[in-house]
C-alpha cells in the first residue's frame, strides 16, 4: 500500500497529467464530443494509476475544465464531467482499492483485476456515449485527426503507460509477488520521473515521499484497527446475528441481500472514505455474502462502484467538496451539475447487478478446467469453489451451493 501510494503521488506531482491529456486528445479529439471523451479516459487512467479520484479532480480536472469551456461545452456539463469522470478508474488495474478488497477477502489479485476491467470499460462507454450526445447537441467543433501527432504524443507518455503493464506482467507471469511488483513500480516511476522526464528532483522526491507516507501511515493505522475490529466481529458472531435479523425480516434470497447491500454501501460511502469502508465494512459483509454464495468478483465490482457513486452524490459526497474547493464554486452548484452523471453511474451499477456474468466471465474457462482436474483426481474441486463464491473461512473451502 505505501509503495502504490508513493507511485500515485510521484505521478501527480510530475507532468504526467499533461502528457496523458495530450495523448488522449490526439487519439480522440476528432470525434464528436472528443474533448469530453478525452477527459473521461484521461481521468480514468489517472485514477487507475493513483488510486484517488479526488486527486484526479485536482490534477486532470484543473487542467481540462477551462479547455472544455473554451471549446464550447456548457459550463455545467464541464464542471459535472471533471468532478465525476475519474470514478471508473477505481475498477481498472492496478487500482489500490482492488488490492485492499483482495487482502480482506483472500481473492487472487490478478484474477480480480481481470474481472473488474470489463465493467470499468462499460462505464467508460456509457459516459462516452453521453459525451458524444452533448458534443453533437452543443455543436462543439472537433479537431482534425493527425496520425503524426498521435504517434508523437503517445510516444511521449509511453513510460508512464508502461507502469501498469509492469505490475500486471509481474503478477500474471508469477515472476513477482504483489509486494515485489509494487516495489518495482515505485523504483521504475522514480527513475522515469527523475532521470528520463526530469520532472522531479531528488529534493522534490523526498518531499513527495514524506507526503505519501503520511497518507500510507494513516491507511496502515486504519488497517490495524480494522483487523482488530474484524477479529472481534468474528468472535462475537456479529454477522450471524445480523443475518438472523434480516432473515427474520424475510431476507431469504440473494436478490434481497443485494438490495440491502447496495443501500448499506451507498450510505457508508457517503459517510466514510473508501479505504475505511473496505477495511471496516467488508469484513462484516464477507460472511453474509458467503452465506448467499455470492461470486467474489461480482461483489468486488458492486462494492467499489457503490463507493465511487457515493463519493459524488449530494449532499455529503467527498469529491463534491474537493471540486468545490478546486474550482472555487459553491458546493450547492456542484450538487446540481453532477446529478446527470450520478444517474449514468447508477445505470452502470444496474447493468453490473443484472448481468453478473460481466464480472465473472473472465474465469469461467479456468473454473471448468479446475473442476475437470479435480474430477480426474477424484477430489473435491475446492480451487474452483474459491473462485466461484466468497469463502467465510479461507482454510475451509466449502461448495457454493448445496
- Determine whether 196 is exposed, middle or buried from the number of CB atoms within 10 Å of its CB (0-12, 13-18, 19+): exposed
pLDDT tens digit string along 279-290?
A: 777 887 888 888
Quote the CA–CA distance of 309 and 37 in Å, as a whole number: 19
pLDDT for the residue 370: 92
Range ranked top by mean pLDDT from 85-89, 300-304, 310-314: 300-304
> What are the grid coordinates assigned to 267, written together?
450510505
Provide the 10 A C-beta neighbour count for residue 76: 13
pLDDT tens digit string along 117-157?
A: 999 999 999 999 999 999 888 888 777 888 888 888 888 88
* Structural contact between residues 86 and 317, judged by C-beta atoms closer than 8 angstroms: no
pLDDT for the residue 55: 72
DSSP string across 106-164: T--HHHHHHHHHHHHHHHHHHHHHHHHHHHHHTT---PPP-HHHHHHHHHHTHHHHHHH
Question: Residue 248: which pLDDT band, with cuts at 50, 70 and 90?
Answer: confident
Average pLDDT in the 209-238 region?
72
Question: Residue 223: which pLDDT band, with cuts at 50, 70 and 90?
Answer: low
Asked if the model's pLDDT at residue 302 lies above 70, the reply is yes
pLDDT for the residue 239: 60
Question: Residue 32: which pLDDT band, with cuts at 50, 70 and 90?
Answer: confident
Asked if the model's pLDDT at residue 53 lies above 90, the reply is no
pLDDT for the residue 293: 86
Of 231, 148, 198, 164, residue with least CA distance to 7? 164
Asked if the model's pLDDT at residue 218 lies above 80, the reply is no
Q: Report H helices in 236-253.
A: 238-248
Of 47, 189, 33, residue with least CA distance to 17? 47
Range ranked top by mean pLDDT from 83-87, 239-243, 275-279, 296-300: 296-300
Asked if the model's pLDDT at residue 303 lies above 80, the reply is yes
Quote the CA–CA distance of 340 and 57 in Å, as a whole number: 17
Quote the CA–CA distance of 110 and 323 in Å, as a whole number: 33
The torsion defined by the Cα of 331, 333, 336 and 341, in degrees rounded to 10, comes to -70
> What are the grid coordinates assigned to 402, written together?
448445496
Quote the CA–CA distance of 268 and 310 in Å, as a whole number: 8
pLDDT for the residue 276: 74
Quote the CA–CA distance of 178 and 98 in Å, as a whole number: 12
Average pLDDT in the 285-309 region?
87
pLDDT for the residue 26: 82
- 218 or 199: which carries more pLDDT confidence? 199
Mean pLDDT of the chain: 83
Quote the CA–CA distance of 397 and 253 in Å, as a whole number: 22
pLDDT for the residue 25: 76
Average pLDDT in the 25-41 region?
82
Asked if the model's pLDDT at residue 231 lies above 70, the reply is no
Residues above pLDDT 90, as percent of the chain: 20
DSSP string across 324-358: HHHHT--HHHHHHHHHHHHHHHHHHHHHHHH-GGG
The torsion defined by the Cα of 51, 340, 80 and 134, in degrees rounded to 10, comes to 110
Quote the CA–CA distance of 302 and 258 in Å, as a whole number: 9
The torsion defined by the Cα of 52, 58, 60 and 62, in degrees rounded to 10, comes to 170
pLDDT tens digit string along 180-207?
A: 888 888 899 899 999 998 889 999 999 9
Provide the 10 A C-beta neighbour count for residue 152: 13
* Structural contact between residues 57 and 90, judged by C-beta atoms closer than 8 angstroms: no
Rg (CA), the chain: 22
Average pLDDT in the 279-307 region?
86
pLDDT for the residue 232: 74
pLDDT for the residue 233: 66
Quote the CA–CA distance of 236 and 246 in Å, as a whole number: 18
- 106 or 372: which carries more pLDDT confidence? 372
pLDDT tens digit string along 330-358?
A: 989 999 999 999 999 999 999 999 998 99
- 77 or 284: which carries more pLDDT confidence? 77
Amino acid at each position: 500500500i505505501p509503495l502504490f501510494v508513493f507511485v500515485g503521488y510521484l505521478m501527480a506531482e510530475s507532468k504526467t497529467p499533461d502528457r496523458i491529456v495530450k495523448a488522449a486528445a490526439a487519439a480522440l479529439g476528432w470525434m464528436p464530443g472528443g474533448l469530453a471523451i478525452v477527459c473521461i479516459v484521461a481521468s480514468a487512467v489517472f485514477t487507475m494509476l493513483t488510486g484517488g479520484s479526488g486527486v484526479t479532480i485536482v490534477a486532470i480536472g484543473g487542467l481540462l475544465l477551462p479547455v472544455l469551456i473554451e471549446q464550447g461545452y456548457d459550463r455545467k456539463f464541464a464542471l459535472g464531467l471533471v468532478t465525476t469522470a475519474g470514478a471508473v478508474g477505481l475498477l481498472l488495474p492496478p487500482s489500490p482499492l482492488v488490492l485492499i478488497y483482495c487482502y480482506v477477502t483472500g481473492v487472487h489479485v490478478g484474477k480480480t483485476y481481470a474481472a473488474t476491467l470489463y465493467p470499468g470499460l462499460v462505464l467508460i462507454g456509457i459516459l462516452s456515449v453521453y459525451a458524444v450526445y452533448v458534443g453533437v447537441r452543443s455543436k462543439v467543433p472537433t479537431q482534425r485527426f493527425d496520425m503524426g501527432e498521435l504517434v508523437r504524443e503517445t510516444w511521449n507518455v509511453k513510460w508512464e503507460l508502461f507502469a501498469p503493464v509492469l505490475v500486471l506482467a509481474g503478477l500474471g507471469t508469477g515472476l513477482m509477488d504483489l509486494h515485489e511488483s509494487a516495489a518495482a513500480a515505485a523504483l521504475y516511476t522514480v527513475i522515469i520521473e527523475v532521470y528520463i522526464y526530469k520532472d522531479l528532483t531528488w529534493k522534490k522526491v523526498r518531499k513527495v515521499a514524506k507526503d505519501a507516507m503520511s497518507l500510507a501511515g494513516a491507511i496502515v493505522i486504519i488497517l490495524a484497527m480494522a483487523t482488530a475490529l474484524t477479529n472481534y466481529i468474528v468472535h462475537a458472531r456479529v454477522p450471524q446475528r445480523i443475518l438472523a435479523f434480516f432473515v427474520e425480516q424475510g431476507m431469504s434470497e440473494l436478490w434481497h441481500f443485494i438490495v440491502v447491500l447496495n443501500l448499506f454501501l451507498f450510505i457508508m460511502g457517503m459517510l466514510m472514505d473508501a479505504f475505511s469502508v473496505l477495511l471496516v465494512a467488508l469484513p462484516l459483509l464477507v460472511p453474509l455474502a458467503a452465506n448467499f454464495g455470492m461470486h467474489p468478483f461480482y461483489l468486488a465490482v458492486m462494492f467499489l462502484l457503490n463507493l465511487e457513486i457515493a463519493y459524488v452524490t449530494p449532499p455529503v459526497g467527498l469529491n463534491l467538496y474537493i471540486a468545490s474547493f478546486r474550482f472555487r464554486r459553491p458546493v450547492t452548484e456542484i450538487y446540481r451539475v453532477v446529478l446527470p452523471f450520478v444517474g449514468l453511474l447508477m445505470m452502470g451499477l444496474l447493468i453490473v447487478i443484472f448481468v453478473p456474468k460481466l464480472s465473472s466471465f473472465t474465469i469461467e474457462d479456468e473454473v471448468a478446467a479446475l473442476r475437470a482436474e479435480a474430477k480426474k483426481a477424484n477430489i473435491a474441486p475446492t480451487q474452483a469453489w474459491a473462485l466461484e463464491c466468497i469463502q467465510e473461512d479461507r482454510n475451509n473451502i466449502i461448495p457454493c451451493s448445496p
